[in-house]
Amino acid sequence: MGEFKVHRVRFFDYMPSAIRSMAFNSQTERLAVARADGAVEIFNFADNYFQEKIIAGRDGRSIEALCWVGCRLFSAGLDGEITEYDLENLRPRYSIEAYGGPIWTISSNSQGMQLAAGCEDGTVKMFEVLEDRIQFQTNLSRQKGRIISLSWHPSGAQIAAGMMDMIKIFDSETGQATHRLLVDRGVGTSKSQEVVVWSVAFLSDHTIISGDSAGKVQIWDGLTGTLIRTHLVTKWDVLVLAVSQDESSVIAGTSEGTIVQFQFLSSAVGQQDKLWVQTRTLKNHSHDVRALVHTDTAVVSGGMDTQLVVRPLLDKVEKYSQESALRKIAFPHKNLVSCAKKAGLLLFQFPDHLELWRLGESDRNGTPGESLPVKRKPEKLIQLKTKGEDHICCSALSPCGSWLAYATVAAVRLYRLQLSSNNVSIQKVSKLPRELKSVHQLCFSSDSCRLFASSSFSSVVVVALDQTDCKYLHTLKHKSGSKQPIHILSPSEDGQWLATANTDCEIHVFNLRKMKVSVDIFEFSLKQKEYSEWSRQLQRQGLHPLWLQRDTPVTQITFNPNNPAHIMLHDVFMFCIIDQSLPLPEAKSKFYNQRILRSLPEPQRLRESHAFKACKNFQHLLSVNLLEDLSLVVVERPLVDIVSQLPAPVRQKLFAT
């Protein structure tokens, strides 16, 4: 595997934002996640739960609800606006004022023709979904209190609305309330407090299920407006409900971090009558569960503790398969760290600012695992605050450390850096080419003379850099017809090639000397324009089962310039070097990491050695980079550091209680 001097970096104070809402599109298998900072993330459940898109947030944007209408995504929040998103250009397409005060919830009918919004002023606003926008239609009968939650009957004829102390059922055609369902306030001191109906679900058989601030999940008959059964599941709030597609299962998320499942089952063997029965309780969160999705095979949850959790339902998936793994997605799948490998600098991306750090130094060498004394401590050189309300969507630092760039949905900023041993100066490049707009990713060439920016319609803008300014050179376009955004840019070390990857799973390699696409694409030989022999062998033999069972995606990959046969890659939990000169591991062989392998007797160690050299000494990896002096920079963000910065949970379970 080789030995490296490692810069172990733990001063990137990255803090993910809480999850506020989720919406699942069962047709495309895409999950939309809204966070407290206004960002929206899209996960592809058909592609190993990969986070394929991020729409950056902005100051003051509060998203309370998300809703899919076909392949279109809408959100609403306390600013009183409904927003539709441009999922190709990763930005809000437009926003429309509902004129009802803060919006607490939105929901579309199953036909995808109407969108309902529950507002602070007691109205349910009805919008018609047109081809390129939404248009206000009418208000349902105005109520005295705010509308907290909404659910359409699958027929689209009725809407259930959760309010303070009650649930109203509306006729969607006439707009009139047909039933009023009064919710019990509870017992004791809580009887004097209003009950908030945080969530409602309207089923095909006209059953209504509600979750409220008194800790109750209640089952109602929507035809008669009568209460069927009450389940007290917590002393705190039931914040959210989700229903399976076949309506045989309902899950409820609570403010103490538990998720309770109810199933529609026969009370006894052989009986036809069915009841909603509490069947299991899951505990995957330390804080409020604010958002839930019930897929065919899993419970997906998120909340204040910032983690997206995919909990498989083991009666719905094959045991010991990839689908049966519990997944906790705590970090973004895009890179938030840029490294100037020739200058020993790191750039950290936060939502509203950037930090530039100089790495520390040591003049000692040691044995594997030894901590070396630091001659010069790491130093924060610059903290660059963004202008305006828009958050940063991407950033980059040139390999020589002389250029810094970042982009928001509104603008691109480019800065010239000058560093010395004692001070640093930063100068903004005032005039940028007009082609630099709607940018999703940024990176610099290996010689720091060009800036690449992925733009709309899956294109790449190429800009030349000199001492003080920049000049537009070319826009690289492919011929596949895909308009999906490019999320990876990778220039070659010799400056001749640029590889791009978009969310349509297309890889394009551009010849930068001819400024055109060279090949449309595993290791790929650019000289032979075909997969390498090693890659073909890997595809024939397949990967080791333990490698395939990993539940986090590889987020970074590179070659060792001193040994091109070494491929270096990492995910959140593991750093790995693939040595192409060694045999691939057989499916039945042991897949030892390096620490265990070193502890084995030499004959066994040689027998078990294979191409995959995995290192698990580092945890929660955000970035691994190889500097010009062949030392490694490993950026870690231990999860315990994030948990320590969260607010206290409403309830902490004590031993034996």
Has residue 521 got a pLDDT over 50? no
The answer to whether 650 and 256 are in contact (CB under 8 A) is yes
- State residue 353's pLDDT score: 96
334-521 belongs to CATH 2.60.40.10: no
Listed in sequence order, the residues at least 6 apart from 397 whose beta carbon sits closer than 8 Å to its beta carbon are: 338, 339, 340, 345, 346, 347, 356, 403, 404, 444
Tell me the one-letter amino acid at 442.
L
* pLDDT (average), residues 534-538: 81
The mean pLDDT value of the chain amounts to 89
Distance CA 416, CA 177 (A): 63
pLDDT tens-digit profile of 252-290?
Answer: 999 999 999 999 988 766 666 889 999 999 999 999 999
pLDDT of residue 517: 65
Does the structure show a pLDDT above 80 at 525? no
Cα separation, 656 vs 242, whole angstroms = 30
Segment 6-21 shows an average pLDDT of: 94
> Can you spell out the DSSP letters for 570-629?
E-SS-EEEEETTSPPPPTTS----HHHHHHS-HHHHHHH--SEEEE-SS-SEEEEEE-TT
Instruction: Assign 244 to helix, strand or coil.
Output: coil
The confidence score (pLDDT) of residue 657 equals 43
Higher pLDDT, 409 or 531: 409
* Strand 308-312 with 424-428, pairing: unpaired
- Give the best-scoring range by mean pLDDT among 308-317, 374-383, 400-409, 547-556: 400-409
At residue 515 the predicted structure's pLDDT band, cuts being 50, 70 and 90, is: confident
* Beta strand extents in 523-562 (DSSP E only): 524-525, 530-531, 556-560
Contact between 485 and 447 (Cβ < 8 Å)? no
| Locus of tokens 């047109």 | 130
Q: Each residue of 489-511: pLDDT tens digit?
A: 999 988 899 999 999 888 888 98
pLDDT band at 584 (very low <50, low <70, confident <90, very high): confident
CB atoms under 10 Å from CB of 62, counted, come to: 17
Query: Per-residue pLDDT averaged across 595-622, rounded?
Result: 82
Q: What is the pLDDT of residues 624-643, one digit of tens each?
A: 999 988 889 999 999 999 99
Residue count (the chain) = 657
Could you give the percent of the chain with pLDDT greater than 90?
63
Average pLDDT over residues 533-560: 82
- 164-170 mean pLDDT: 95
533 vs 151 pLDDT, higher one: 151
pLDDT band with cut points at 50, 70 and 90 for residue 437 = confident
**What is the arithmetic mean of pLDDT over 160-179?**
95
Q: Look at residue 518 and tell me whether its pLDDT is greater than 60.
A: no
Closest CA to 498 of 453, 562, 555: 453
Lowest mean pLDDT among 149-163, 265-279, 328-342: 265-279
As a whole number of angstroms, the distance between CA 458 and CA 613 comes to 35
Alpha-carbon distances of 409 from 55, 76, 126, 436, 651, rounded to whole Å: 9, 19, 30, 11, 40
The one-character DSSP state at 457 is G
pTM of the model: 0.92
**What's the whole-number mean pLDDT along residues 457-475?**
90
What pLDDT is recorded for position 57?
94
